[in-house]
Amino acid sequence: MALADADRIAAARAYVDALVSHDASAVRLHPMCTRTELGVKTGRDGAHIARSLEGGPQFKLIHAISEFEASVDGDTVHSTYYVHVQPKPLGLAARVVESFVVNDDGEITTIVASFSVPRRKAL
């Protein structure tokens, strides 16, 4: 049975929420999940991606997410949102465009991300 669109979006949102919480326990990553960022492979498997979410220095800079929007096309969730980065007083945020392939078991199998240079943006 096909997974509902809302469940696919929830899987993607759990990943995005973990960018801030640094707690990947709610993120359902397939063991063979890969992540590509700006054309470079940055996640080789689900366990590696989870470890990065929890302790990767590249994610420790993120302190908030805003303007999350998502749509579903087949098994792919297309999302856009802003990541707000440290130091907080500068008010910097980068727009992220990220796609998540979510299988019918609710596991993320592929993540493809791109983002802009952080710019001043109110939270």
- Domain residue limits, the chain: 5-120
Please report, rounded to a whole number, the percentage of residues in the chain having pLDDT higher than 90.
Answer: 93
Per-residue model confidence (pLDDT) at position 121: 87
Burial of 54 (0-12, 13-18, 19+ CB in 10 A): middle
pLDDT tens figures, 5-16: 999 999 999 999
Query: What average pLDDT does this structure show over 47-69?
Result: 95
122 pLDDT above the threshold of 90: no
pLDDT for 1 beyond 80: no
State the CATH class of domain 5-120. alpha beta
Q: How far is CA 1 from CA 4, 85, 109, in A?
A: 9, 39, 18
pLDDT of residue 57 exceeding 80, the answer is yes
pLDDT digits (tens, 9 = 90+) for 15-44: 999 999 999 999 999 999 999 999 999 999
Q: Which of 2 and 70 is assigned the larger pLDDT?
A: 70
CB atoms within 10 A of CB 95: 16
How many Å apart are CA 10 and CA 25, to the nearest integer? 14
Rounded Cα distance between 93 and 117, Å, is: 8
